Amino acid sequence: MNHSNTLSLFERGVGRVKLALKSTLKRTPRASSICLGEQVAWRDDLLRRQGPTVTDTRTLGELGYSQSPHSKVAVDAITGVAVVHRLFTLEGVAALQDICARLEEGAGDSDWIISRRTRGVTGLSSFINDMMCSRSFLLAISRIAGVPLVPYPMLNARSQINYYYPKPVEQQQQLGIWHTDGTNYVLNIVLSGPADYSGGEFLFHNGTVDTFDALDYRTFETARLDEPGDALFIYGSRLFHGVRPVLSGRRMSLVLSFHCPYFGDDSNRFWHLASDDGIPATIPNWLGLRWALHRSAVRQYARIGIQPITFEELHHIGA
């Protein structure tokens, strides 16, 4: 584990329960105390009109899965990992950078490789909230995913901003990095440019969760995220991934989670959420999540005020 290329594995099982207790005892800053005077409102023309350039796509089937998470949707119709370039215009990227930089002030310290992070960002930024509820934005992400999406029903797990700084070398080894997410459809948007930091590469295991071996770097790939605003789309609960330690500068990223409202299934586990938010906050959130997952797709779309996105629409490019 001391090899510098090796990344440690984030806690699973009992480790998650321990982390949940730790998160419960730690005081987190009050989100509501932050007031962002936002300069720019979300507009759909902050998305590039021609749509994003999506490369290096692997479906869940191509990653090695034979079982689909959703009945009636083939494993080869669902994206397991894809690199997304040029989703936003330059103005869109600049607006996100500005908002996320300003939200750092209220960010909590984080124990693992991320130095600081802010969860529940859609409750703090109407720009990001409006973006996530925009039909054009959701349609673009749904096309990348292969299934229609809505913002993840639970506020805390829906959006977070990660801020990474260099950590002292002695701490780097013990901090977790390899992990799977509690949510399924996850867009990791890197907002810093390559000149802003070194290290901090986004790694993922090119295979299934069962074939993951933290010591076998031959199956690891580095996502090619070159420009600020580039993103890695992942089926987060089925793809081991992690960010290597930042060696200099700051790396800032916005992580958004989505849900496919046509199916009631969800991978998130109570202890996964509790390890992030502490036990008291997770209990009501968890009950709300179970409730929300059983609403019809039509109602889930109506709640965010848009017409349902359908499976058919995903294949009509330029519609």
Ligand X SMILES: O=C(O)CCC(=O)C(=O)O
Please pick, from the candidates 19, 255, 256, 292, the single residue that binds ligand X as defined by CB under 6 A. Answer: 255
Q: Which of residues 141-170 bind ligand X (CB under 6 A)?
A: 162
Instruction: Write a three-state SS string for the chain.
Output: CCCCCCCEECCCCHHHHHHHHHHHHCCCCCHHHCCCCCCCCCCHHHECCCCCEEEEEEEHHHHCCCCCCCCCCCHHHCEEEEEEECCECHHHHHHHHHHHHHHHHHCEECCCCCCEEEECHHHCCHHHHHHHHCHHHHHHHHHHHCCCCEECCCHHHHEEEEEECCCCHHHHHHCEEEECCCCCEEEEEECCCHHHEEECCEEEECCCHHHCCCCCHHHEEECCCCCCCCEEEEEHHHCCEEECCEEEECEEEEEEEEECCCCCCCCCCHHHHHHHHCHHHHHHHHHHHHHHHCCCHHHHHHHCCCCCCCCHHHHCCCC
Q: How far is the CB of 241 from Fe ion (least distance, A)?
A: 6
Q: How far is the CB of 234 from Fe ion (least distance, A)?
A: 7
Cβ proximity to ligand X, 42 vs 240, nearer residue: 240
The angle formed by the CA atoms of residues 61, 67 and 68, to the nearest 5 degrees, is: 80
202 binds, among ligand X, Fe ion, none (CB under 5 to 8 A by kind): ligand X
Cβ proximity to Fe ion, 181 vs 230, nearer residue: 181
Cβ proximity to ligand X, 269 vs 299, nearer residue: 269
Cβ proximity to Fe ion, 134 vs 156, nearer residue: 156
Q: How far is the CB of 181 from Fe ion (least distance, A)?
A: 4
Please pick, from the candidates 181, 266, 276, 277, the single residue that binds Fe ion as defined by CB under 5 A. Answer: 181
Q: Is 202 in the site for ligand X (CB under 6 A)?
A: yes
Q: Is 235 in the site for ligand X (CB under 6 A)?
A: no
Q: Is 253 in the site for ligand X (CB under 6 A)?
A: yes
162 binds, among ligand X, Fe ion, none (CB under 5 to 8 A by kind): ligand X
Q: How far is the CB of 266 from ligand X (least distance, A)?
A: 16
Question: What is the identity of the amino acid at 288?
Answer: G
Q: Is 243 in the site for ligand X (CB under 6 A)?
A: yes
Q: Is 11 in the site for Fe ion (CB under 5 A)?
A: no
Cβ proximity to Fe ion, 46 vs 187, nearer residue: 187
285 binds, among ligand X, Fe ion, none (CB under 5 to 8 A by kind): none
Q: Which residues bind Fe ion (CB under 5 A)?
A: 181
Q: Which residues bind ligand X (CB under 6 A)?
A: 162, 181, 188, 190, 202, 241, 243, 253, 255
